[in-house]
Amino acid sequence: MKHFLKELLKKYGHIWILGYGFIYLPWFMHLEKTVTSNYHIMHSSLDDMIPFNEYFVIPYLLWFAYVTAAIAYLFFKNKEEYYRLCAFLFTGMTLSLLICTLFPNGTDLRTAVNPDKNLCSRLVYMLHQADTNTNVFPSIHVYNSIGTHIAVMKSESLKKHKVIRILSGILMVAICMATVSLKQHSVLDVAGAILLSAAIYPLVYAGSTQEETENEPEYIR
Q: Divide the 221 residues of the chain into consecutive groups of 10 and give the mean pLDDT of each group.
A: 68 93 98 94 98 98 98 97 98 98 97 96 97 97 99 97 98 99 98 99 81 48 39
pLDDT at 9: 75
Output b/e per residue, 124-145; b: 16+ Cβ within 10 A.
bbebbeeeebbbbbbbbbbbbb
Q: What pLDDT does 7 receive?
A: 73
Cis geometry, peptide bond prior to residue 104 (ω within 30 degrees of 0): no
For the chain, how many structural domains are there in total? 1
Any domain includes 65 = yes
In-domain check, residue 9: no
Q: In sequence order, what are the residues at sequence separation of 6 or more whose Cβ sits closer than 8 angstroms to the Cβ of residue 158?
A: 152, 164, 165
Domain that holds residue 108: 52-203
Which spans in the chain are helix H?
2-12, 21-34, 57-77, 79-102, 119-130, 140-154, 162-181, 187-204, 208-215
77 falls within a domain: yes
